[in-house]
Amino acid sequence: MMATSITLSAGVRSNLLNLQSTAELKNVVQTRLSTGKKVNSALESPTNFFTASSLSSRASDLSNLLDGMANGIQTIQAANNGLTSITTALQSMQSTLNQARQDKSFQSQSYDVDAGLIGTAAAKNLTLSGGAIGTTGIDVKLQSLVRTGNASAAVTAPTAGDIDVTIGTVTKTVTLANGDDITAQIGKINAAFGSTVAANVGGRIALTDASGTAATVADSTGNVNGTAAAVFGAAPVTSYAPKSVDQLVSAINATLGLTGKVTASNDNGRLRLQNISTQEMDVKGVTGGRIDGSASSAKIAGNSVRTSLARQFNELRDQITKFGDDASFNGVNLLRGDNLKLTLNETGTSFINVQARDKAGMATAIDNAFLKTDAVTAPEFDTDAVLDAKLDIIKDALAAIRSISSSFGSQLSSVQNRKDFTKQMINTLQVGADNLTLADTNEEGANLLALNTRQSLQTTSLSFASQADQAVLQFLK
């Protein structure tokens, strides 16, 4: 109503419209300069506005995924830290086994062999138990059984086994086999002596010594043909001859139940026994450092170095579990079999699952059960063969850790590459959106300067246009 109630000349109205138009343009330019955008609403450019909004929204979605990727990378790194520590523990366990393998500080003790105390009247034994032998003792005979008779002695044919045949001062061990008849047995005795010393006399073996000295026969039990009634002449005499140190050494080292558990040697005329075990061994038949076949016992300590190493091995093994438990990040522990799913695009169609897997591709926790690193006992460190077997297990465990580490490394590389790609995509999307909406401040500044100049000129022009009306005012005055 006000616009129509005031009468303006054509020149004034024309200049007024131009001033109003210039003012609107200045508002637009000033808005662009203040916001930095040339498109601030859909009214200005619907196509550019909505396209830029779409690009910016996608860039924002991808930006949100970067946080998940960053956490995923740290989760994998935490698992890698655990694997590195577990590898170090396994290598230390391997070193412990190698050290035990090389250690030979098994305890030993030397004893005098007292033939007088052992005597010849009754059979006596040296009994070894404990250590690697076990609770059931093993007897070692301290004497050889001797049966003497006439120079020409008739003996029933012995059964299979070893027999000692003594003629004069010469003793030979003859090995008989099942199925040997008396002829074969006689042949073996004669072959052992290299001359005819045995003959078949009425189905019995007759031993003859041309020198007239005594002939004797005994097997490992002191019996011939399974009975003590074997006859050497009319009245055989039985006695026990104490064994020498060398004979005892041979007997102990040849005893199957003692092989790899006890070793014997001649220590300057004394019997030296070495306990090849981490456990204490009992030696029965020893009094005051002298072997006498009595009921008294002595002890030989176990290998304390290997015992200590077995304890160290178990302590290192326990660390494997602790490293695995502590290798979590943000509640996810890949070393305990957790699955880490990382989404790589805004639609969720691209993702990666990070999880520890065994050779068969099954999810697994990285622990002692998976690595097959069982706890050990000190007796297991007695023998080198057991240590070698455990070294093979550690070798396989290290190979398994390397395989898991390689898998995690590959997945970490994939996530890192995807993170870098996502950053580049976000930049590309943001640049694209900016190209559609951002204003050129230099250009807009120039526009504002031009509009200010135009506005000044239009104001002057409006003043000129109103001079006609002012002339009428002068006339009225």
**Residue in 56, 46, 14, 19 with CA at minimum distance from that of residue 428:** 56
Q: Is-contact 173 164, C-beta < 8 A?
A: yes
Q: Check residue 217 and give its pLDDT.
A: 57
Q: Can you give the pLDDT of all 477 residues of the chain as single tens digits?
A: 445 566 666 666 776 677 777 766 677 667 766 666 666 666 666 777 677 677 778 788 888 888 888 888 899 999 999 999 999 999 999 999 999 999 998 999 999 998 889 888 888 999 999 999 988 999 999 988 664 433 334 444 455 567 777 766 677 888 877 667 778 878 888 898 888 877 776 666 667 655 544 455 554 444 444 333 333 333 344 567 899 999 999 999 999 899 989 999 999 999 999 999 999 999 999 998 999 999 999 999 999 999 999 999 999 999 998 998 899 888 899 999 889 888 888 887 888 888 888 888 888 899 999 999 999 999 999 989 999 999 999 999 999 999 999 888 888 888 888 888 888 888 888 877 766 665 566 766 776 677 677 767 767 776 666 666 666 556 655
**Residue in 341, 357, 363, 370 with CA at minimum distance from that of residue 403:** 357
Q: Check residue 195 and give its pLDDT.
A: 83
User: Which DSSP string do the residues of 125-179 spell out, in sequence order?
Assistant: EEEEEETTTEEEEEEEESEEEEEE--SEEEEPPP-SEEEEEEETTEEEEEEE-TT
Q: Check residue 248 and give its pLDDT.
A: 94
> Cβ of 130: how many Cβ atoms within 10 Å?
19
User: What pTM value is reported for the model?
Assistant: 0.62
Q: Check residue 268 and give its pLDDT.
A: 93
Q: Check residue 344 and give its pLDDT.
A: 83
Domain assignments of the chain as residue spans, ordered by start:
8-27+441-477, 60-102+307-431, 106-140+244-281, 143-242
Q: Is-contact 153 233, C-beta < 8 A?
A: yes
Residues 6+ positions from 458 with CB-CB distance below 8 Å: 15, 18, 19, 22
Question: Interhelix angle for 10-35 vs 441-465, to 10°?
Answer: 160
* Distance between CA atoms of residues 76 and 267, nearest Å: 62
Q: Check residue 438 and give its pLDDT.
A: 58
Q: Check residue 208 and give its pLDDT.
A: 65
Q: Check residue 464 and give its pLDDT.
A: 65
Beta bridge partners of 171: 166
* Distance between CA atoms of residues 203 and 155, nearest Å: 9
Q: Check residue 185 and give its pLDDT.
A: 78
Beta bridge partners of 129: 282
Q: Is-contact 314 97, C-beta < 8 A?
A: no
Tokens representing 390 are 């455990």
CATH architecture of the domain covering 60-102+307-431: Up-down Bundle (1.20)
Q: Check residue 156 and give its pLDDT.
A: 47
Q: Check residue 359 and give its pLDDT.
A: 85
Q: Check residue 44 and give its pLDDT.
A: 66
Burial class (CB in 10 A: 0-12, 13-18, 19+), 336: middle
Q: Check residue 429 and give its pLDDT.
A: 82
